């Protein structure tokens, strides 16, 4: 088995990929959380009635 050194470019790319993965994961968690909150405010499967405007 040959010993090979990882190139510096791959190390930087891995760091960027990890950062992007964390950002995408946080975005997915935010969307999921907003969906859960919206669904928890439903009444009998319907959206709450809009308030009467002026």
Q: What is the number of alpha carbons within 13 Å of residue 44 lying toward its C-beta? A: 1
3-state secondary structure the chain: CCCCCCCHHHHHHHHHHHHHHHHHHHHHHHHHHHHHHHHHCCECCECCCCCCCC
Amino acid 33: pLDDT: 96
pLDDT in tens, 8-40: 888 889 999 999 999 999 999 999 999 999 888
Adjacent-strand bridge partners of 46: 43
pTM check: above 0.75? no
Give the rounded distance of the alpha carbon of 41 from its chain centre: 22
């Amino acid at each position: 088995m040959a010993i090979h050194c990882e190139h510096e470019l791959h190390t930087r790319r891995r760091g960027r990929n990890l950062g992007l993965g964390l950002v995408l994961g946080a975005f997915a968690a935010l969307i999921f959380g907003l969906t859960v909150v919206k669904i928890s405010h439903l009444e009998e499967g319907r959206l709450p009635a809009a308030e009467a405007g002026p």
